[in-house]
Amino acid sequence: MSRNPLLRAALAALLFCLCSCSGGEQKNARDTRPAPVMAVPARAANVPVVIKAVGNVEPMATVAVKPQVGGAIVAQLVHDGAQVAKGDVLFRIDPRPFELAIRESQAKLERDKALLIKADEDLKRYVTLKAKDVVAQEQYDQTYAAAKTLDGTIKLNQASLDRSKLDLEYAEVRAPIAGRVGTVMLTTGNVVKANEAVACVINQISPIFISFSIPERYLSAVMARQKKGPLEITASAPGELETQPVRASIASVDNAVDTKTGTIRLKALAQNADHRLWPGQFVRVGLTIAELDNAVVIPTQALLDGVTGPYVYVIGTDGKAEARRVTPGPIVDADTVVEKGLAAGEMVVTDGQVRLAPGAKAEIKGAAGADAKPTDAQKADAPKADAQKADAKPAGEGAKQ
């Protein structure tokens, strides 16, 4: 009985040692296990350099229609939102006062023409009598002045008649441009004064302008590109598919840079025959100013910000992770162009960077590959990749995202 406690103590000590050794071996196995990551090869592609901006749709012309003569509106021939052509009658103002004015002017003109005939005959007689010294000079002068005065009066009456005819023409309020009518603010029965009340507003929407601003640093590139030929933009309204954008040609570049925002305003002209664009609408604008040939492109999510600048994790041919400093270029959709520090074909980590440190083993999982073996493209581009490493290896950026 006395030996049993000693035996039990020895067995417990042996069991503890075995468990400690097993735990240490498992910990070491976990420490040497490769970190699972997602990676894709950097690819070479022809990448368009596109300036993204938010634009505003503006009518090519807008006119506030006002009656040019006063009177009562007797007919409203337009309604809200109507599409009108240039010259269409929108309203009719009571024409009777203008018709009366025309008849009055015509009567005065006919009367003065008859008086002028009589005055001309009198002047001819006085010219003959004056040559014979039968009449005094004063009587001749009065007859001459009367004839010339009537001649001027007839011209004045003719102008009054023309004015009355023009007023009668203005009694029909016509559309000065083709376009779409907004809210009609005058209806039948309203009495208006000349050039005071706005009857409606017409916007010309086909063709139509797209106005947008870009940073001034792109101005020289835009001007250089315009010298080579017409420059086009694509525009998509909110809620529309960007695969079917509206295309428009650059119509003008503003004559000054906005010093407050450091931007320059451009206008593009879209035909808008299908009326997809509407005045006041906001659109997403894309302006292609150049194309990069054989640029190195990687997913934007692979790019990390470090203390010394942007960097990416590259999986080398030995399966180890390397923190490579790069110089990013333009962003195109979900990809970023790498201008310096990376070669096409190198495996770039896109997910799982938090598990990595410089020199750590990595195992590629997912669509990019089932193991950490390098791809054929990576092997072929390995010499080129070594030449890119001069600007790589930022210190202390192992686990920073």
Per-residue pLDDT at 167: 96
Structural domain span for residue 313: 35-46+294-391
Residues of the chain short of pLDDT 70, as ranges, are 1-32, 241-242, 366-401
Per-residue pLDDT at 137: 81
- As a whole number of angstroms, the distance between CA 361 and CA 322 comes to 10
Q: Are residue 165 and residue 194 in the same domain, yes or no?
A: no
The answer to whether residue 327 is domain-embedded is yes
Per-residue pLDDT at 347: 92
Q: Concatenated DSSP letters for 291-343? A: EEEEEEEEEGGG-EEETTEEEEEEE-TTSBEEEEE-EEEEEETTEEEEEES--
Which residue type is seen at 199? A
- Give how far the C-alpha of residue 166 lies from the chain's centroid of Cα atoms, to the nearest Å: 43
Q: How many structural domains does the chain have?
A: 4
- As a whole number of angstroms, the distance between CA 400 and CA 386 comes to 24
Q: Are residue 262 and residue 209 in the same domain, yes or no?
A: yes
Q: Are residue 269 and residue 149 in the same domain, yes or no?
A: no
Task: Evaluate whether 11 touches 5 at the Cβ level (below 8 Å).
Answer: no
The structure tokens 């468990």 sit at 19
Q: Concatenated DSSP letters for 258-288? A: BTTTTEEEEEEEE--TT----TT-EEEEEEE
CATH of the domain at 251: 2.40.30.170
What tokens were used for 216? 């001034």
Q: Are residue 269 and residue 325 in the same domain, yes or no?
A: no
Helix (H, G, I), strand (E, B) or coil at 129: helix
- As a whole number of angstroms, the distance between CA 52 and CA 212 comes to 10
Rg (CA), the chain: 44
Task: Evaluate whether 361 touches 24 at the Cβ level (below 8 Å).
Answer: no
Q: Are residue 380 and residue 314 in the same domain, yes or no?
A: yes
What tokens were used for 130? 């004056």
**Tens digit of each residue's pLDDT (9 = 90 or more) over 187-202:** 999 999 999 999 999 9
Per-residue pLDDT at 11: 67
Smallest CA-to-CA distance from 231 within 239, 223, 219, 241 is with 223
The answer to whether residue 29 is domain-embedded is no
The pTM assigned to this predicted structure is 0.66
Per-residue pLDDT at 264: 95
The answer to whether residue 30 is domain-embedded is no
